[in-house]
Structure 1
Amino acid sequence: MFSPEMKLVLNMIPIWLATLPFGMCVAQASTFFIKQGATMNRDIGNGFEIPPASIFSLAAIGMIISVTFYEKLLVPVLRRTTGNERGINILQRIGIGMVFSIATMAAAALVEKKRLGAVESDPVKGSHSMSVLWLAPQFVIIGLGDGFTLVGLQEYFYDQVPDSMRSLGIAFYLSVIGAGNFLSSLLITAVDHITEKGGKSWFGKDLNSSRLDRFYWVLACIAAANLCVYVFLARRYSYKTVQKVAVVADCYEGELEKGGPMA
């Protein structure tokens, strides 16, 4: 009924869907996390203030640490244990990153709760009494998760797509990020609508009148429930079989049959 190429693509769809909640968590780092930083004390001395958007560089640092640790330390050890050239398979690597996304949302919720407490105790200074470095854990943790899941997704889509569609592997990977951002916006709209009916929306006119901590907990719960689904799918996933053909050897064999010289 379906061609082999179509079967490979259909085989990847459940995994693609199961990675979308991770994309939703990643979307917070470039949106609400930055807005949180803009309300906090960004002075690091001598009158120099960290631009809010530059805080995102902590996620990049976390990703560099994650990839370096995985490739240089973890893989050699796991390779001897599992016999797998990659140390662990691709889907296991992606799943580890999903655990970090849950931890990120939990850390973000706790920090936001503390920030709102600072606003309540001193409405004049508000959260400006808190250093922006309080946000460092959630940025670093999501960066660590990126090193596992995002890099794993690039490898997964390049490796598992049909050979004729291999150039589209990066497009499949980017679609996770794009769809994750879209679903994040959709979730915000839904939560705003539902909580507004309950009396007061979790998303007020500014962060100080919002309950972003509760939204982060919702995301953490979604990511945790999705991880269970992902593990179920990953355990039943069948990898594409790669057949290696010795093209060079065949060429030499053809020359010998013809009695031609071997250069």
Structure 2
Amino acid sequence: MSALWLVLPIALAGAAEALYFPGQVRLFSEKFPKALKNSSTGMVAVLTALGLKLSTAFLSVIRHVTTWLPDDLNSSRLEKVYWVIAILATINFGIYLVCAKFYKYKSTNGTENVSVDEIAAS
């Protein structure tokens, strides 16, 4: 098996990071308290580093618990690892939907908070 099979997942991860990064920077800079505005852009880098560390820990757990990722790529079971990642991503998306449902936007004029449902209704 060629290592080139990993090019597509890595390219998709890079494209996803390029798409969410500007929105995350804007969200943090707009929604953080004024005292933490300068820290908000640094928070993006911290969260990215945390995600990379967690992915390394995840792969270490997979290697120790299962035999799906041996040293020989030809005898590995990458499809099972990708299925586990797909299941975790689906659970993560469900948690995101629940959090988005209860999130209250900070109003721009400072008088009231607006929910996502009120924005969708208008």
TM-score bracket for this pair, using the shorter chain length: 0.7 to 0.9
The one of 97, 100, 112 aligned to 1:234: 100
- Secondary structure in structure 2 of the residue aligned to 1:239: strand
Question: Which letter maps to 2:64?
Answer: H
The equivalent residue for 1:204 is 70
Matched, 1:170 2:41: yes
* CA–CA distance in structure 2, aligned partners of residues 239 and 162 of structure 1: 13
2:91 maps to: 225
Between the aligned partners of 1:160 and 1:145, the Cα distance in structure 2 is: 22
Q: Residue 114 of structure 2 corresponds to which residue in structure 1?
A: none
Q: Which residue number corresponds to residue 160 of structure 1?
A: 31
Q: Deviations over 1:68-110 (max 9, x none)?
A: xxxxxxxxxxxxxxxxxxxxxxxxxxxxxxxxxxxxxxxxxxx
Equivalences for residues 136-155 of structure 1 within 5 A: 136=8, 138-155=9-26
Corresponding residue of 2:3: 36
Q: Give the alignment of 1:17-166 within 5 angstroms.
A: 36-37=3-4, 135-136=7-8, 138-166=9-37
Aligned residues: 109
- Which residue matches 2:56? 185
CA distance in 2: counterparts of 1:147 and 1:184, whole angstroms? 18
- TM-score normalized by the length of structure 2: 0.74
* Cα distance per residue 1:16-49 (max 9 Å; x no partner): xxxxxxxxxxxxxxxxxxx923xxxxxxxxxxxx
Question: For each residue in 1:38-70, what CA deviation from the matched residue of structure 2 results, as whole angstroms up to 9, or x when unmatched?
Answer: xxxxxxxxxxxxxxxxxxxxxxxxxxxxxxxxx
Give the whole-Å Cα distance in 1 for the aligned partners of 2:15 and 2:60.
28
State the 1:143 CA deviation.
4.0
User: 1:140 Cα shift?
Assistant: 4.6
CA deviation vs aligned residue, 1:191-240 (integer Å, no higher than 9, x gap):
12221xxxxx1121132232222112211110111101101101211122
Q: Computing the radius of gyration over CA atoms, which structure comes out larger, 1 or 2?
A: 1
Q: Does residue 215 of structure 1 match 2:118?
A: no
Task: Give the structure, 1 or 2, with the largest relative contact order (CA under 8 Å, sep 6 or more).
Answer: 1
Local SS of the residue matching 1:204: coil
Q: Could you say what secondary structure the match of 2:107 adopts?
A: coil
Identical-pair percentage: 26
Tell whether the 8 Å contact from 2:63 to 2:69 is kept in structure 1 after alignment.
yes
Q: Give 1:173 deviation, angstroms.
A: 1.0
The structure in which a higher percent of residues are strand is 2
RMSD: 2.3
Mind listing any 5+ residue stretches in structure 1 that lack a counterpart? 1-34, 38-110, 113-134, 196-200, 245-263
